Amino acid sequence: MSADAINIEQKLALFQDHWNPRIIGELNGQHIKLAKLQGEFVWHSHEHEDEAFFVLHGSLTMEFRDRSVKVREGEMIIVPRGVEHRPVANAECHVMLFEPTSTVNTGSAGGDLTRESLERL
């Protein structure tokens, strides 16, 4: 097996839709994903998985039931398992996600935005 560089900008250019993460790598039981966000996601939690959001472009607000955290370009936030949250991006935001392979994007909420089978780029 060989290791190759992954060009993040090239991968982001391959899709335009929002709230539909794509897998760009896997290591130690974790998926590395890219997603474009815009608007409000659903309130949800992940019973068994922590999530890390690294903002590549733009900014997002991670809403929790008791507060909101602004996450700007070049910053990241880790959402602990079991914590209800909702990402919101007023303008298009590009993120890199680090999540266990078992993570479903809408967690316990389900619904129309659930992506159970993710495309690999």
What residue numbers bound the domain in which 97 lies?
34-103
Whether 108 maps to a domain, the answer reads no
Q: Give the position of tokens 């290591």.
A: 27
Whether 40 maps to a domain, the answer reads yes
Which CATH number is 82's domain given? 2.60.120.10
pLDDT in tens, 14-66: 999 999 999 999 999 999 999 999 999 989 898 999 999 999 999 999 999 99
Structural domain count, the chain: 1
pTM, rounded to two decimals: 0.89
pLDDT in tens, 57-113: 999 999 999 999 999 999 999 999 999 999 999 999 999 999 888 776 767 777 777
Whether 80 maps to a domain, the answer reads yes
If you write DSSP's letter for every residue of 44-108 in order, what string do you get?
Answer: B--SS--EEEEEEESEEEEEESS-EEEEETT-EEEE-TT--EEEEEEEEEEEEEEEETT--TTTT
Whether 27 maps to a domain, the answer reads no
